[in-house]
Chain A
Amino acid sequence: MSDIFPKWTNRLPALVLTGAALVGTAAVAGAWYYFTPKYSRVGYQPIQPVAFSHNIHVDQLGLDCRYCHNGVEKAWYSNVPSSTLCMNCHNQVLKEDARLALVRESAASGTPIPWVQVHKVPDFVYFNHSVHVNRGISCVHCHGQVNQMDEVRHAQPLSMSFCLECHRHPELKIRPVDKVYDLNWQAESETQQIAEGKRLMQEWNVQSLDNCSACHR
């Protein structure tokens, strides 16, 4: 009878268990690593119809975000500028440049430039730009260092845990309102950020919002 199960089958249960443990760990680790917005969204950088560079326009020219995104302080929605706004300058600067052909065409005909939207929260999330920028939350916290990007890329996951992390501790991020559009600004030290953040939260009566109805209404 001893030939029915060869000797190596004695190790079979151990092998199966090790194998299952390996596959299980890999599957969990893979899902944890890949199935989150930190992987699926961060790094998204679509090819835009016009090679518009924030680095040139913001860092080199010193334009304020609000020159172009002029709705950001007033509305939930931060608008992308119309092509006529580009023509304010580009009717004299790079007037004949081929890279701007689409801008000129669009300004003349009134058909918008088909910019590809990079950041998008699901439609069941209520988001609002003006509440954030008027309460000292800078663009850099949610969009990264746009001023250094030649092409806009998705820098933060914009997941629910990302939003909540800040909503639970706004004092780590809040800054004076006139520094919101200066993406390079940083408090001198962490302790100063917290002290100043706490003071601003008190002054503006900022709440730590983590009830569901703040963002799902």
Chain B
Amino acid sequence: MRYFLAGFALLVVLVVSVAGFRGGLSRKPPIEIFPDMDRQAKVRPQTADGFFANGLGSRLPVAGTVARGAPFADTPLNTGREPGTTNYVAAMPVAVSAEMLARGQERYTIHCSPCHGGQGDAKGITTKFGMAVIGNLHDARIVQLADGELFNTITNGKNLMQGYGPNIDIADRWAIIAYVRALQLSRLATLDEVPAELRASLTK
């Protein structure tokens, strides 16, 4: 019995020391104990797939085609340009509302503020880590740009800023522009434009 107990204790210690405890670090993929139908022969997004020559499961659109539901029409809404020309539209082709501005603020905070800063003055956090060139959205030149040109900058990027077209929906891009315009106005307003009863609080 003593030998059995010793052997048993040894076995338990051995299993625990090899297998470790729950939550322990493991570099190897989890073992699937009963891999019933866990992995099926279908393509999941962003995975490798041996079927295609370049090994990518997700396919790029064939040249000259448009995905279902993707915007393609040559309208100011989709391109920021006057149809048939390369001229930027001066004013945004969508109506501005309080909800849209709130949405624009949220999206601006996610996608733009890391570089351009919460106030648009190019003092985002990345400037502390070596982002040297960032456009200041309160620059007189940028204030005067057409809305359509801002749309184009967000979609396709400009110089050192890369495009955010694939990341931000069209409606959200216009909402961001509306919010950027509001930010710019906030620095251009004069005291006369402030409601009379609030003026005192600013001049104090």
Contacts and interface: CB of A to CB of B under 8 A. Distances in A.
Contacts of A122: 36-39
Given A38-B22, A77-B45, A92-B132, A30 B15 contact: yes
B23 A89 contact: no
Contact of A22 (B8, B28, B36, B114): B8
A94 interface: yes
Contact of A91 (B26, B31, B48, B160): B160
A91 B131 CA distance: 9
A79 B115 CA distance: 22
B130 A47 contact: no
Interface string B22-63: 111111111111001111101011111000001010000000
Contacts of A94: 130
**From DSSP, what is the main secondary structure of chain A's interface residues?**
loop
Contacts of A34: 19
Interface residues of A, number: 49
Contacts of B130: 92-94
B149 to A, nearest CB: 20
Contact of B162 (A63, A88, A111): A88
B12 interface: yes
A79 B45 contact: yes
Given A40-B33, A122-B39, A93 B129 contact: yes
Given A19-B4, A91-B160, A35 B110 contact: no
A112 B25 contact: no
A41 B25 contact: no
Interface in A52-88: 61-64, 66-67, 70, 77, 79-80, 82, 84-85, 87-88
Interface string A25-58: 0100010011101111111111100000000000
Nearest to B126: A89
A70 B15 CA distance: 43
B126 A37 contact: no
Interface in A173-192: none
A43 B25 contact: yes
A93 B160 CA distance: 12
Of the four ranges (under 10, 10 to 19, 20 to 34, 35 or more), the interface on chain B belongs to 35 or more
Contact of B110 (A42, A46, A61, A66): A66
Nearest to B45: A77
Given A42-B22, A61-B126, A67-B110, A91 B27 contact: no
Given A84-B162, A123-B38, A124-B40, A43 B24 contact: yes
Nearest to B15: A30
A47 B162 contact: no
B31 A40 contact: yes
Given A38-B22, A45-B27, A15 B1 contact: yes
A124 B30 contact: no
23 contacts: A15-B1, A26-B8, A40-B30, A43-B24, A43-B25, A44-B28, A44-B30, A46-B29, A61-B125, A67-B110, A84-B162, A85-B167, A88-B161, A88-B162, A91-B162, A92-B132, A92-B160, A93-B129, A93-B130, A94-B130, A122-B37, A122-B39, A124-B36
Interface of B: 1, 4, 8, 11-12, 15, 19, 22-33, 36-40, 42, 44-48, 54, 56, 109-111, 114-115, 125-126, 129-133, 160-162, 166-168
